[in-house]
Amino acid sequence: MNTTKTTAPITAPAEYPVQVRLPGQAAAAEGPIDPFMMYVAHHAFRRDLADFAACAPHTPVADTDTWRALADRWSSFYDVLHHHHTGEDEALWPLLLSGADDDEQAVLHAMEAEHELIDPLLTACSAGFAAMAAGPGRADDTVRADLAGSLQRTFETLSAHLAHEESAAMVIMQRRMSPAEWDAFEETMRGEVKPREVLAVGPFLVKGLPADDRQAIMSRLPAILRILTRLGERSFARRDRRAFFYDPRR
């Protein structure tokens, strides 16, 4: 018997925001909130892990400078992903759990459990990049092969988690959150990113978006974020080219 106290789903005006649908995205639940930046972040995480997984096996063991660039680029990716998951675990999922029914609670607890599966994979990748960047004495073919395997497993595990979140957890968000609650959550997340950091985070988020999607996303950003993103793109692109120099898909 279901004994969990439930609250009525959030009601909203008949006209909901148009939800973005980016490459690789599993679903886009309709509803009163506009979580477009979450979808943008998911696209960036999928894209980056695919890039790392493609480049690691093809980057020569002896090219320490490129491995250092890759390790630095991995650190940037890791920081954004960690901030994203921490915000969900500490603020978003608890907010939703407070009004969720039993089935919804099972989904939200699964989100937390999946984060716990991803964490050790990220740690293994960080250790692999650090070893390769250290050069002779630590970097060798075996370490590179182990790193490539860890990156592939991380890509598969995180991709499955993001698809689950998009197809199930974000349905709950649309059902249980008001636009004001979502805006407050996003404001908290943005407030933890310093303007100087946006110079790197903004370009990271919009990299690789199809032109129409990029234009739509940029038009939704606050003006200051648009400016900082554009200001940081040249430096970000230069770092990206250096890190992914051996990308076999070019």
pLDDT given at position 196: 80
| Nearest-10 Cα torsion for 41, 42, 43, 45 | 90
Amino acid making up residue 47: R
Q: What is the pTM of this model?
A: 0.92
- Which segments in the chain show pLDDT lower than 70? 1-14
pLDDT given at position 14: 52
* DSSP alpha helix (H) spans, 135-210: 141-164, 170-176, 179-191, 195-206
How many residues does this entry show for the chain? 250
The closest alpha carbon to 63, from 238, 248, 243, 249, belongs to: 243
How is 83-131 classified by DSSP, letter by letter? HHHHHIIIIIHHHHHTT--HHHHHHHHHHHHHHHHHHHHHHHHHHHHHH
pLDDT given at position 10: 44
pLDDT given at position 108: 98
